[in-house]
Structure 1
């Protein structure tokens, strides 16, 4: 959903189409940029909310003027910016709008992909389309629109069905669009230093000497090899087939808790020896060490390494992406 990205998961195509239709698209890189650009007649689009972990930051976004478009919000972001909603029960996906919302009816059939569905808390009146994948309501003098998936707005999906029409109808609802899709936690570096940058210069010559020693030992040992012995190998099963089979079993049983536990356990097993934590380290020690090495918020690290299981497939995918980011930042500070 990065408006400058031209990859299949980026939002450059949508941003370009909106500008061609006369919509002023303002790309915000921080919460301060959002507060500067937002106006009562503007629309604030918030995506990639897995990087919004600071409660004060979410409060500032909630106080920004203008209407709000939330794209695939996490439970934390939804509780801060749209507390009137909660995730509903899973139901067969319906690509037809089946609602009176003009923007949805003009777009017609839409391919959302994996998506959350939302229902209202209490007696709040909402407009629900596509079996709850798109909802809209009024609160605090502003119009709030929430979509359970952002894939239909990306470069790789705009040409499918009525995806482009719905994306433009929602994002182009106001003459000014403030697009905020953070790609890192605000306050930390977006491109961490690589491990090679931390190696002293005088280590290079030691490395090349060791490499030469290993080569000489290999040549010396290689001269003593005996004749080859034929041996029948067991049946070889590709690792990818095992992973895919296990994933299909988890999916067929809706075992998001076990899938999340497997992802977290694998991440901890890789992190512990690389951070010098030893076997079976306490969770508090892991959170403290990872936070110090990556610069991430301890609450953010604890929530994703030891938090509750995800409530939907979308949140499971978000957990996998965040765990990958945590491991990369902690091992390559």
Structure 2
């Protein structure tokens, strides 16, 4: 009998291609992430000239006498306006401390929203943003003391929460009243601390999995599903064990000796004893005219001079035996079988 299951070499030959592709994809993703994280071109970065950057609003603020200070770990925020581009990356306790110390705080899409809203041009609907007029708003809806743009911009005390950051980007700054609204929110004081949290931010208390973007998690799930599908596809080739003619004739005695050596090498005396007992029962049961599986102890005792208890202990005992005990057991089982045959 020959099994067609692949060995380690065949498995590696089949799997090294997909593994190599996966390693290349992972390496490329890490490099791209590091390059994007270290460059001056991220979203809402006041140094960035890209459409999603915020250089234009930073320039307008400076022209109006507001000093813009970009940081990834603010320390001195007293008397300044604090703008936090990604407040969900910051430990809530630290964020609360910074908000108390700052003269005014603007949080972009923080946690705690009550609903989602479509990003579109909306009317202010409140005195707070009446001078700015219609602006691009939406994203998230919040509760607050003052509510503007259908509650997508609210203010409670000195803390302002806004559900969408489009008004701060180079792409949308010149639309509607976006520029006026952005200047009114970020130019409340002569100094603006522009806080861009990152993975290296010392105040961050999130786990590694929390820092992985949802798109990467979705991609990892897809790769896992693909790996399972490939494994199932390859497993279909295993099949069942098939018979194969041996190139030489192997004597039964050699097979028995080979199996015995395997049992001895693995110290499986108890298993060997169980096999011997089962084989004796299987030979004696039809000889005594009993149905398969029935206990032959009583019938053996009736035909021999042994007691039922001794016969049952000999045929069914599960006590551990050593090599010497295994030889003695085999001799005793042979003796019982000979006695039954001669009776």
Calculate the TM-score normalised by the size of structure 2: 0.46
- Larger radius of gyration, structure 1 or 2? 2
Greater relative contact order: 1 or 2 (C-alpha under 8 angstroms, separation 6 or more)?
1
